[in-house]
Amino acid sequence: MTIDIDNRTNFVWGEKWEEIIKKAVWTSLEVEKFLTECEISVSIVTNEEIQAINREFRNIDKATDVLSFPQLTFEEGEIADVNEKNEILNLKLIFLSRFHIQNNSLQNQNAFHYFDT
């Protein structure tokens, strides 16, 4: 499994954030019983960028915490494109708003600040 994480903000984050994101992706795939090797892209973005993406693809002109777009849909018997590791290419794109993550964490009294080193 390849999980590409792209931080498009000026937020400096440590390895614990990467661990949290990867664990969330793994858990989601397990819940869905999707056990095929695949590639997933996760981008940490600004509030402005997630609002622009939401406006462009969902016609909703407002920021949100998470946007997720499946990149592939399969017809029965269809074979997906794979990378050199034999993983399904670009199964899903996920965008996370750094602002909303921090805000939600503070509201729920979670330890957001522990992971920014």
Q: What is the mean pLDDT of the chain?
A: 83
Whether residue 108 is contained in a domain is answered as yes
What residue numbers bound the domain in which 18 lies?
2-112
- The pLDDT confidence band at residue 110, using thresholds 50, 70 and 90, is low
Measure Cα distances from 60 to 18, 63, 100, 102 in Å: 29, 8, 16, 22
Question: Among 18-27, 50-59, 76-85, whose mean pLDDT is lowest?
Answer: 76-85
Q: What confidence tens digit (pLDDT) does each residue in 18-35 have? A: 888 899 899 988 998 888
Q: Looking at the predicted structure, is the pLDDT value of residue 65 above 80?
A: yes
Classify the C-alpha dihedral 22-26-32-34 as positive or negative: positive
What is the domain-level CATH number for residue 44? 3.40.390.30
The pLDDT, as a whole number, for residue 115 is 47
The total of structural domains in the chain comes to: 1
Asked whether residue 111 carries a pLDDT value surpassing 70, the answer given is no
Q: What percent of the chain has pLDDT over 70?
A: 87
- Global confidence as pTM: 0.77
Which amino acid is present at 89?
L
Question: Is 117 within a domain?
Answer: no
**Mean per-residue pLDDT, 78-87:** 79
